[in-house]
Amino acid sequence: MALDAARREELRRLLDDYVETRSQASAARLIEGHLPLARHLARRFADRGQPLDDLVQVASIGLLKAVERFDADRGVEFATYAAHTILGELKRHFRDAGWAVRAPRRLQELYLELTRLVDELSQSLGRSPTVAELASSAGVTEEEVLEALEAGQAYRSSSLDAPAPGADGETSVASSLGQVDLAMATAEQRAELSGLLGRLAARERRIVHLRFWEDRTQAEIANELGISQMHVSRLLAKSLSTLREASS
Amino acid sequence: MAERKGAGDEIHLVVPTTPDLLRLVRVVASGLASRLGFQIDAVEDVRLAVDELCWTVVSRVDSTSTLAVRFVILEGAFAVEARLQPGPGAEADGAVLSALTERILSTLVEDYSLLPPTDGAGAGFRMRTKQS
């Protein structure tokens, strides 16, 4: 990631300010200044079946740790130290937190293979494949496909909480609910729905809205959002789990 | 734990109401959907619906309770009926579907309903998948 001289100078100034003051405000500015680095490194892991937004959050946590732990006396450039820490955080995320219920490596790999195959077969068949078709294409048994799917639903990042309502600013909860609810729900139900859906990140809220309010299929949602069908499926399961926890 | 009965069109499963074992209900449901030739997104719908309903009936009981589940294979679809068997000291009160859960289930399955507690048995649910 090449930086121009002015940008480099700005980051150096932010670092000097932080090293000198160690204030929260200067730490926040330093973090903000290095967010492009965090995003850049997160993108390197984007082909592993995890939402990029989640990876950026993990990378940001790594960046935060780098800022907290950085020791200027050790003579290492902050950007080098931060990149090392961010990469460590991303790798740890995949190793430890990625599979909430630890699944054997072969199932993790099969799940990622299925993610690709579902999209490919959907294209060639003009519909979603059956489990038997997936098994045949992957060269495994139907039971193995089902096992991998089950393991895949556990493939989530438990450390990533949904942002606070309105934090993302992309889709308001009110617009997610859509006009249909005006007739369907009482005011009390509507308030409850609004509160619950507000616990989801903007994209997940949109997926829930498209699936359950507009009755769109997973494949249609995947097309619209430019992500894989399995990714939609996983985000739906994750969203419903979040909503259940929020309502309990 | 799973028992195949008669002509093979029913499966009975009794599981403790702990999250790690309740997933067996989901596993059996997705296995049945697969055998019936459901497309992968329909298999996922079944899994989500089963999860949602199981959670609705077990969320208020402790892990000493069990859930007795009956899967009935139909023509191109299957039905699931589950009943809580409350553990000692657990109260057999009814379950309630939120507006959100109603919305979700009405999208995912052909038919569903909650079963009120009866003498000796806790709340339960009944659902029927869409056609494969």
Residue among B39, B55, B107 whose CB faces A128 most closely: B39
Radius of gyration of chain B measured on its C-alpha atoms: 14
Are the beta carbons of B110 and B45 closer than 8 angstroms? no
- Where does residue A150 rank: exposed (0-12), middle (13-18), buried (19+ CB within 10 A)? buried
> A interface mutation test: which of B32, B40, B97, B107 has the most A CBs within 10 A?
B40
Q: Is residue B4 part of a domain?
A: no
B40 → chain A, closest CA residue? A130
Kindly report which listed range (A168-172, A180-184, B29-33, B91-95) carries the lowest average pLDDT score.
A168-172
Measured between beta carbons, the chain B residues lying within 8 angstroms of A192 are: 98-100
- Where does residue A9 rank: exposed (0-12), middle (13-18), buried (19+ CB within 10 A)? exposed
Locus of tokens 């740790």: A65
Higher pLDDT, B14 or A194: B14
Task: Give the model's pLDDT for residue A72.
Answer: 79
Total domain count, chain B:
1
Domain that holds residue B37: 10-130
**CA of A211 vs chain B CAs: smallest distance (Å):** 8
Q: What percent of chain A has pLDDT over 70?
A: 78
Q: Is residue B110 part of a domain?
A: yes
Can you give the pTM of this predicted structure? 0.66
A152 → chain B, closest CA residue? B44
> Quick check: helix, strand or coil at residue A104?
coil
- Do B100 and A243 lie within an 8 Å CB cutoff? yes
Q: Which CATH number is B16's domain given?
A: 3.30.565.10
Which of A207, A219, A238 lies closest to A129, judged by CA? A219
Encode B16-52: b = buried (16+ Cβ within 10 Å), e = exposed: bbeeeebbbbbbbbbbbbbebebbbbbbbbbbbbbbb
Report, as an integer, the average pLDDT of A170-193: 54
Task: Give the model's pLDDT for residue A6.
Answer: 81
β-sheet with B124-128: strand ranges across: B3-5, B10-16, B66-73, B78-85, B124-128, B111-115
**CA of A190 vs chain B CAs: smallest distance (Å):** 9
Report, as an integer, the average pLDDT of A70-97: 82
Task: Give the model's pLDDT for residue A165.
Answer: 35
Q: Is residue B106 part of a domain?
A: yes
Residue B128 pLDDT greater than 50, yes or no? yes
Residue A50 pLDDT greater than 80, yes or no? no
**CA of B121 vs chain A CAs: smallest distance (Å):** 23
Q: Residue B81 phi/psi, 5° resolution?
A: -130, 130
| ipTM passes above 0.95 | no
Q: Is residue B1 part of a domain?
A: no
Q: Give pLDDT tens digits for B26-77.
A: 999 999 999 999 999 999 999 999 999 998 888 877 777 899 999 999 999 9
Q: Give pLDDT tens digits for A8-20.
A: 788 888 888 888 8
Q: Is residue B26 part of a domain?
A: yes
Q: Is residue B2 part of a domain?
A: no
Measured between beta carbons, the chain B residues lying within 8 angstroms of A218 are: 41, 44
- Do B99 and A243 lie within an 8 Å CB cutoff? no
